[in-house]
Structure formats: C-alpha cells, structure tokens
Amino acid sequence: MTTFQPVLLEAVGVAGSHTLASYRSRGGYAPLERLLKEKQPADVIELVKSSGLRGRGGAGFPTGLKWTFLPKDHPGPIYLCINADESEPGTFNNRILMEDDPHQVIEGIILSAYATRATTAYLYLRYEYPQSWDRLQGAIDEAYAAGLLGKNIQGSGFSLDLYLHRGAAAYICGEETGLIESLEGKRAWPRIKPPFPAIEGLFRKPTVVNNIETMACVAQIARRGVDWFRSIGVPADPNNPRDPGSYGPKLYCLSGHVERPGCYEAPLGITARQLIDGHGGGVWKGRKAKAVIPGGISMGLLTEAELDTPLDFAGPGKVGCLGLGTAAVVVIDETVSIVDFLHNSCRFFAHESCGQCTPCREGTAWSLRMLERIRAGKGRLKDLDLLAEIGNTMGMMPGSTICGLADGAAWPIKNAIKKFRGEFEDYIKRTNPSGWMVTDPVPALPIVGAH
C-alpha cells in the first residue's frame, strides 16, 4: 500500500505549487482545454458517471448520478456550489487541497460546471481557513487572467463565474441545504426535502453541491481517465446491487494519538490498521488504541478489534458505524476515558445543533447535560439507557429530524454506549457509589459541574 503514488496530493511539498505556472507544468488545465473543445457536457457527465466517483463530502453519493438529477433543458440558471465548509472534527483534507493545489480544484470546478451547464459557481469556504482564502483567491484571479474563468473560456463559448464566499463558522453550513440558505444570506437552517437542491436549490434554482475533494477527483479523472480511476479502490459488491463500489484515491486525515498525524492519500479500502501503522507510524508512545473514529466524529467508533475494517464507503457501516464520512481517522489511545470522549462529542453537537428540529435541539442538549452530570459523579445506570434511546431515535434515519446532523450526533452516543458500556458502568459505579442505582428523575440542580 505504501507504494501508492499520491495523485491528488502530488503537488504537496513542491515549491510554488499553488501557482498557475506550477499547475500547468504538471499537466494541469490541458485536459480541461481538450474536453471543452472535443466533448459535450453530457459526455463529461458520462465520463464522471462511468468512473464510479462518489462524493467525498461524507455521504458518498455517486457524483455523476447527482448531476443527472438536474432538470433537462432548464431555461433559467443552474448553480454549482462547492462545499468547503470543512467542519467535521478531525477533517482537513480540503484545506490541504485548497492551500497546496488550488488550481486542481478550480479545474475540477470548471469541468463540473461545464457538465452541469452551470454558469455561476460559489465556493463556500469555512471561516477558519484564511490561508485557503488567500490561495484560492489568488488562483481564481490567475485563472480569470488566463481566460480559464469568465466569459467564453478558451474560445469554447462556455462561460463561468466563480465566487468565493466565506462562511461564519457554523458546522451546520456544511449540510448542503444549510449551505444554500447561508449563501442566500439567511440563517443556516437546513431545508426540508423534497424538493431536493437539484430541482430547487440556491435562489430556488436547480443546484448541485459538491465537495472540494470531489472536484479534485473530477480533474484527475479528466487527466488520467476512467480506467485509471477504476483501477484503484474497492469494486462494487456483485451480491449487492445497491453498492456502487468505492473507486479512486482518497485523502485520509489521520490525527489523534498517532506518531505521525497528517493527511495521507491512499486507495479507498485501506484498513484503519494499515493507515495507522503504515502511514501514521502506529499509536503514539507505544500505547494501544482504545477506539478509532473512522471518518469524523459523527461516524461513531471502531474498537481495537475492529481496526481491520476497510475504510471504503461500505466498510465502517458493517461494524455499526454511520459510514466513511470524511475519512478523518482519529485515534484514541487506551488512556482516554470514553466518558470524556462522549462528553466532548456531545458538547460539540449540542453547540452546533442548529435548533430547528425538536428532537435534535433538545436531544443533544439533554445528552450533554447527562454526561456533565455523570462526569460530576452523579451518574446513574439509568442514564445509559436514556442515552441509548436518544441515540436510537434522534436523526434523519428514524425520520425524526430534517437533516443528518442529528444522526451524526446520535452515532457517537449509540456506538460508545454499545461498544463501551462496561466502561461507562464501571465509571458510574466508581464515581457515584451511593446513587448509581437510583431511577427517580433528577431534580433541578443549580450547578452540575459544568466545567
């Protein structure tokens, strides 16, 4: 696996890699110019579709298929939104791409806009990425000057305007309809679906929302071809007609308690153990891993025994996780209390819940309150049942919320209680020897060890 040559990250470490000249010297924009000349938009959609590219933002929806949902011969504008509101804890692959190789992203954007017939694209950048902002803006200016953006790109008759939009630092803006609302200048409350953005999105017009890494993949597919892309990764399961396979390279963000954290490019399907031991140099300080987050905190937890799970789109789901997510692998070593981990996770989601749907707004806050109480030495075994119930009933999957944030908040709770229940019980019995068995409601307390 270590023999895999990085493609998406090939420019990392190259001096001046973010400039147009550097990108061109690596063969950049040539595929774009060729495709604009030779191919129709439908051909580009077909190209991406046949490559089996699945969205890298988290849900893993096939990109080409998403594009085909746009209405045919739509008379008005179609918008392309690029989601760079990378806010899943542990995730930083978009930042690397935007900072080190922004032109690769822009080439992908132009190709995607050409395929979807969008003439306006918005890049929604998370607030906390000033370096990405500078590099992207510089690259956009260069592209305009070189006739790669703007009116009549390279004489092809195709025009595209690309705007950078900086968010205001909210997790929910990464949800595609929350992003659209935010772009429209409103409070980022995810919209009810249907209608899906492909029919009615930004400014009530057909809209495609894609991730930065997906755009980079589109550029690489255009350059290296479908066969190259399909030669990497995990093919579709022939026994499961609904599995579109996991093709192509993927950027894994490895962080937490490893010797060498970082963003590593590997073929989809690498196992968590290969990633940690091969790329990350193993768990730090010679310790063992207690748990590993497979793809951002909202995906749940892998136990040490589950580390041989392949990190493709189907893998983590087989061991009870939500999915691959953003492929942000966070290693938690054996010294960490799982109670502390879950408290931190609940605190994040209680803070980031947009507050629209009752189950998520109140459920995330309630779970946080319970974990604060447990950590304050007032836990009861009954709390674990309540937490599990919240975990099982909150989210888009049981149908109780509009967007998937609640599922993301529920999964760590669900996984932690299920896979580490023994540790929770020990903790509660140890810290609350007199009250762990109580099942009465908890009276209102003025202060319950908030910090």
Partner 1 sequence: MPTVIVDGKEIEIGAHERLNCIEVARRAGVEIPHYCWHPGLSVVASCRMCLIETGTRDAATGKITMMPKLVPGCQTPAKDGTVIVTDTALVKDSRARVEEALLIDHPIDCSICDKAGECLLQDYHFEHGQAERRTDLNPFHSRRRDVGPTVTLFVDRCIMCTRCVRFTREVSGTSELMVVNRGSKEEISVFPGYPLDNKLSGNVVDLCPVGALGDKDFLYQQRVWFLKRESNVCGGCSAGCSIVTEHNQDTVYRLKPRENPHVNKWWICDDGRYGWHHLHDPARLLSAGRLVSSNDDREAVEWSDVTTRLRQELSGAGRLAVAVSPMLTIEEAWMLCAVARSIDQQAALFVGHVPVSGEDESFPGGFTIRAEKCPNRRGVEAVVALFQSEERSWSDLVAAVGAGEFDSAWITAGYPHAWIDDTTAAPFGRLRALVVQDLFESPLSKLATWRLPAAGFAERAGTWVNAAHRAQVFAAAVRAPAGVWPEGRLYWNMLGRRGLYDPAAVRRQIAESSATLAALGGEIPAVGVDLRIDQIASS
Helix, strand, coil percentages in the chain from 3-state DSSP, rounded to 5:
45, 15, 40
Q: At 235, list the tokens.
A: 């093919």
Q: Least CB distance from residue 209 to partner 1, whole Å? A: 20
Of 151 and 204, nearer to partner 1 (C-beta) is: 204
Q: Least CB distance from residue 391 to partner 1, whole Å? A: 13
Q: DSSP character for 196? A: P
Residue list 177-216, contact with partner 1 (CB under 8 A): 187, 189, 192
By the rule CB under 8 A, 418 interacts with partner 1: no
Name which position in 90, 294, 296, 359 contacts partner 1 (CB under 8 A).
Answer: 359
Name which position in 14, 164, 397, 438 contacts partner 1 (CB under 8 A).
Answer: 397
Binding mask 368-387 for partner 1 (x = CB under 8 A): -xx--x------------x-
Name which position in 9, 111, 332, 354 contacts partner 1 (CB under 8 A).
Answer: 354
Q: Least CB distance from residue 446 to partner 1, whole Å? A: 6
Of 240 and 358, nearer to partner 1 (C-beta) is: 358
Within 8 A by CB and 6+ apart from 203, the residues are: 77, 79, 184
Is residue 162 within 8 A of residue 151, CB to CB? The reply is: no
Please work out the total of residues on this chain that contact partner 1, with binding judged by CB under 8 A: 38
What distance in Å separates the CA atoms of residue 187 and residue 200, rounded to the nearest whole number?
18
Name which position in 232, 236, 365, 438 contacts partner 1 (CB under 8 A).
Answer: 365
Q: Least CB distance from residue 378 to partner 1, whole Å? A: 10
What distance in Å separates the CA atoms of residue 211 and residue 226, rounded to the nearest whole number?
19
By the rule CB under 8 A, 393 interacts with partner 1: yes
Of 435, 442, 439, 387, nearest to 413 by C-alpha is 387
By the rule CB under 8 A, 256 interacts with partner 1: no
Of 222 and 405, nearer to partner 1 (C-beta) is: 405
Q: Is the dihedral of CA 49, 54, 60, 64 positive or negative?
A: negative
Total Cβ atoms within 10 A of residue 190: 23
Name which position in 132, 356, 415, 432 contacts partner 1 (CB under 8 A).
Answer: 356
Q: At 33, list the tokens.
A: 């110019």
Of 278 and 317, nearer to partner 1 (C-beta) is: 317
By the rule CB under 8 A, 366 interacts with partner 1: yes
Binding mask 142-181 for partner 1 (x = CB under 8 A): ----------------------------x-----------
Q: Is the dihedral of CA 257, 258, 260, 264 positive or negative?
A: negative
Distance between first and last Cα of the chain: 44
Of 66 and 373, nearer to partner 1 (C-beta) is: 373
User: Which SS3 state, helix, strand or coil, does residue 158 take?
Assistant: coil
Please name the helix (run of DSSP H) or strand (run of DSSP E) that holds residue 319, with its range, or none. Answer: none
Alpha helices in 239-357 (DSSP H): 272-274, 315-318, 338-352
Choose the binding region for partner 1 from 128-136, 332-340, 348-356, 430-438 (rule: CB under 8 A): 348-356
What distance in Å separates the CA atoms of residue 332 and residue 155, rounded to the nearest whole number?
53
Binding region for partner 1 (CB under 8 A): 170, 187, 189, 192, 350-359, 361-366, 369-370, 373, 386, 393, 397-402, 441-446, 448
